[in-house]
Structures are given as C-alpha cells and as structure tokens.
Structure 1
Amino acid sequence: MKFFGFVLGALALVSGAIAVDIQKSVIITYKENTPDSVIKQDKQRIVDAGGVITHEYTLMKGFSAKVGEKTLESVSASSENYGTIEEDKVVNTN
C-alpha cells in the first residue's frame, strides 16, 4: 500500500512539472495615446516567455501573437489602461 501511494505522489509531481502553458492566438490593440515603450515592453514580455509575435499592425497600434495564458495575464494587467486583448479567431458572415 505504501508503494502505491509513492507511485501516485511521483506521478502527481511529474505531471505538474511537465504541465504546458496553453498557447492562445490573440490580438492586442492600444489606444492612440499609448507610449511606444508600453507596447515594446509588452512584446518583449511575450517573447521572453516563449511566445511569438505573429504580426505587427501599422494602421493601428497593436500586434497579434501566440502567447501562453499565464503570460497573457501579466500583459493584460500592464496594458489594461491602454487597450484591448481579444482572442484571434475566424469570423464569418452569412
């Protein structure tokens, strides 16, 4: 019985250690008065955490990225006064 408990404990540790942060595709846009330093800082935070900037927009301030949910939470906290974060998905019209 002790061996079974040990195996369960070991499996729990292993599963927690290899848990992967789920990547999401998002579009992050900023208000016109947003300092470029804020945008640059958010992009760097995403890249440092293993995310990828997939596109930078020129007609509006913003970019799209693939980023982990945990990183997305920290970026949204820093940019909540400056813009919006929305999931990048396909939109159809009928």
Structure 2
Amino acid sequence: MRLFAFFLAALSLLIAGVIAVDIQKSVIITYPESTPDSVLDAAKKAIEDGGGIITHEYHLIKGFAAKLGEKVLDEVSALGKTYNAVIEEDQIVSTFQSGN
C-alpha cells in the first residue's frame, strides 16, 4: 500500500512538471528602420537567455524570427513597445483558397 501511495505522489509531481513547461511559439519580430541595433540585440539576448532560439535574421527589413516561450514573449514585447515592434505568429501563407 505504501508503494502505491509513493507511486501516486511521484506521478502527480511528474504531471505538474509537464504542465509547468512553457509552450514554445514561432514568431516573427520586426522593428521600424530607425530602431537602434542595440534594441534588437537586447531582444535577441532576452530570447536566448529565456531558452528560446533565433531561427532567422532578416537583412532587407529590421527583424528576426524566433522560437520562444510565452513568458519570454511577454518580456520581448515589453522591450519593443517603445520602438513599435511588430510581433506576429509565424504561419504558412497561401495565395490560393482551399475548398474552391
């Protein structure tokens, strides 16, 4: 009986740990051309420090793509608020409508 109680307690801790994992999102973050490079560097550092990764850096526009958790996304959003950063979820875009 004690073994079963121990097993049940260990299982509940495991489930709680899985629920606490931050959900990763793929996003594209862009800034106006007048934004200092130090702002982008600070955002990239916050993403990497929070366990996220920069998946692509853009050269024609000022910005980058990243995969990061919700908590880090809130922090990066706050960092970019002064410079009007645009943060959008990375998704597939198509020119054709399906079902027609």
TM-score for both structures, normalised by structure 1:
0.83
- Among 61, 82, 85, which residue is 2:87 paired with? 85
Determine helix, strand or coil for the equivalent of 1:41: helix
State how far apart, in whole Å, the 2-side matches of 1:66 and 1:92 are: 22
Task: List 4+ stretches of structure 1 deviating above 4 A.
Answer: none
Aligned residue in 2 for 1:32: 33
Give 2:29's aligned amino acid: I
Q: Pick which of 52-61 and 17-26 moved more.
A: 17-26
Once the 2 structures are TM-superposed, how far is the Cα of residue 14 of structure 1 from its aligned partner? 4.7
State how far apart, in whole Å, the 2-side matches of 1:34 and 1:45 are: 17
Q: Which structure has the bigger radius of gyration?
A: 2
Give 1:63's aligned amino acid: F
Once the 2 structures are TM-superposed, how far is the Cα of residue 93 of structure 1 from its aligned partner? 1.2
Determine helix, strand or coil for the equivalent of 1:86: strand
Deviations 1:31-85 (A, max 9, x none): 1111111100000000011101000000010000000011000100110222200
State how far apart, in whole Å, the 2-side matches of 1:16 and 1:73 are: 23
TM-score for both structures, normalised by structure 2:
0.78
Structure 2: tracts of 5 or more residues without a match? none
Structure 1: tracts of 5 or more residues without a match? none
Q: Count how many residue pairs are aligned between Structure 1 and Structure 2.
A: 89
Aligned residue in 2 for 1:55: 56
Give 2:87's aligned amino acid: I
Once the 2 structures are TM-superposed, how far is the Cα of residue 17 of structure 1 from its aligned partner? 3.7
